[in-house]
A and B are shown apart, each in its own frame.
Chain A
Amino acid sequence: MAETTASKKVKFIITRQDDPKSPSYTEEFELGYRPGMNVISALMEIQRNPVNAGGKHTAPVCWESNCLEEVCGACSMVINGKPRQACAALVDKLEQPIRIEPMKTFPVVRDLIIDRSRMFNALKRVKAWIPIDGTYDLGPGPRMAEKKRQWAYELSKCMTCGVCLEACPNVNDKTNFIGPAPISQVRLFNAHPTGEMNAEERLEALMEDGGIEGCGNSQNCVRSCPKGIPLTTSIAEMNKQTTKHMFKRWLTS
């Protein structure tokens, strides 16, 4: 364990909530500074020694994390007003006091733990997979052009972290907008040579209530995505494809 630099302190103001229904409150914590510490390591320290800034013993702060290298998305929370991954939030690069809140666009389970089910439901809704299951071997699928593979790979980096939904002014309790991430996933799976065979089903899912029409072009998503996914390009491209599909359906049915 690294040595605590005795004098330097780091202050955290954490928004807490005991259970899904109870009101939220803030609690302050003061920790000794360690070089290279990040928000997760700070939370771990609070867990080891759950004493708040007032010196009172308190319940340890709950959070979620897995990979600790910004690839799983589990540790997403609002840090100094910006939704991002706590494991990649270095204390040295944050203004103090460091304010930590849960991403309240999602239902809060406890403290910083949120329930991101709506994102997984959205992925199911748009059929963000490639159906190849059957009773016999279908053999190898068609090949993908290298150029296409390169941009599709960028889209495949999405870790369903929820940051883009938290940043979007149209994802809230007054709308049923599915948010940017699943729209971009439709573009990804519709670009795949095998996935393409079910392209229309996914487009139609985007044309259901709460689908792509919910976007109002604030473009916060593309500026917040930790993976640098070109979300607004995906949304505009899906706008184009759903519009084309709409005319095609009118003219051919």
Chain B
Amino acid sequence: MKGFYSRKLHSLLGIIPLGFFLLEHMITNFSAVEGGPEGFRDAVKWINSLPLVLALEILFIWLPLLYHGVYGTYIAFQAKPNNNRFKHERNLRYTLQRVTGIIALFFIGWHVWETRIQVSLGNVTHEGLGKWMHDIVTQPVYFIIYLISVIAVSYHFTNGLWSFMVSWGITVGPRAQRVSSYICMGLFVIVAVMFTWSLFVFRGVEFEAGGTAMLQTLKTFIG
């Protein structure tokens, strides 16, 4: 496939479906803030009750993610960042878009292994995911990794939305691009806060329901 089309596909997949899935994921997690363990369990249940859920997952998550992630890594390593010479906001965002993409690659790989694949392997049930997440994010190192990663991915998606609108010729002039930048950064704050908030809630005792002794100790350690 010629570069033009493969790059257009990469750009499109970043929004449809990946961006939409990210927002959906954000809302699912936020149900933990609103409805506690019960709310989260119901949200997970609702998604898994969708018809043909595995086919939906493959078509709208796995394949797009694989394509966008692999091609995105290729794009990221083609760049020669020059932020020391050209110190302005847009150039910084350009580099951050690539750095957060690579963070997303590692984080999503690890996160999928820890959650979705563990469910497939039968090590955890959909109902047990709330406590499972609690056990992970109450460990300080993992919590920090999650915190950095959700903020990085939120940035990658929202700044990506800004550049998507340029790449498809939706925002053409400088004023349009400036306004869309404000909107996208507003969206960044909302998405990052909602993911972070859910992370903190997963650390709460109501998600505990009997953790292991070691985790209990860790919890008292970090308060």
Contact = CB atoms under 8 A, between A and B. Distances in A.
Given A174-B80, A216-B79, A169 B166 contact: no
A214 B2 CA distance: 12
A233 interface: yes
A239 interface: yes
Contact of A169 (B3, B80, B88, B167): B80
A224 B166 contact: no
Could you tell me the dominant secondary structure of chain B's interface residues?
Answer: helix
B4 A212 contact: yes
Interface in A219-243: 219-220, 223-224, 230, 232-233, 235-243
Contacts of A207: 2, 4
A82 interface: yes
A233 B94 contact: no
Interface residues of B, number: 35
A121 interface: no
A210 B90 CA distance: 22
Interface string A161-197: 0000001011010110000000000000000000000
B219 interface: no
Contacts of A237: 169, 172
Contacts of B8: 213, 243, 246
Contact of B90 (A208, A217, A224, A243): A217
B124 to A, nearest CB: 39
Interface string B66-88: 00000000010111111011101
Contacts of B163: 216-217
B115 interface: no
Interface in B113-136: none
Interface in B145-170: 163, 166-170
Nearest to B165: A236
B2 A208 contact: yes
A233 B88 contact: no
A218 interface: yes
Given A170-B79, A232-B166, A240-B170, 9 more contacts: A213-B6, A217-B93, A223-B88, A230-B174, A233-B174, A236-B177, A240-B172, A243-B168, A243-B169
25 contacts: A81-B84, A169-B79, A169-B80, A170-B80, A172-B80, A209-B3, A211-B4, A214-B3, A216-B79, A216-B94, A216-B97, A217-B166, A220-B88, A232-B166, A232-B177, A233-B174, A236-B166, A236-B173, A237-B169, A237-B172, A239-B168, A240-B169, A242-B4, A242-B169, A243-B8
Interface of A: 81-82, 167, 169-170, 172, 174-175, 206-220, 223-224, 230, 232-233, 235-244, 246
Interface of B: 2-8, 75, 77-82, 84-86, 88, 90-91, 93-95, 97, 163, 166-174, 177
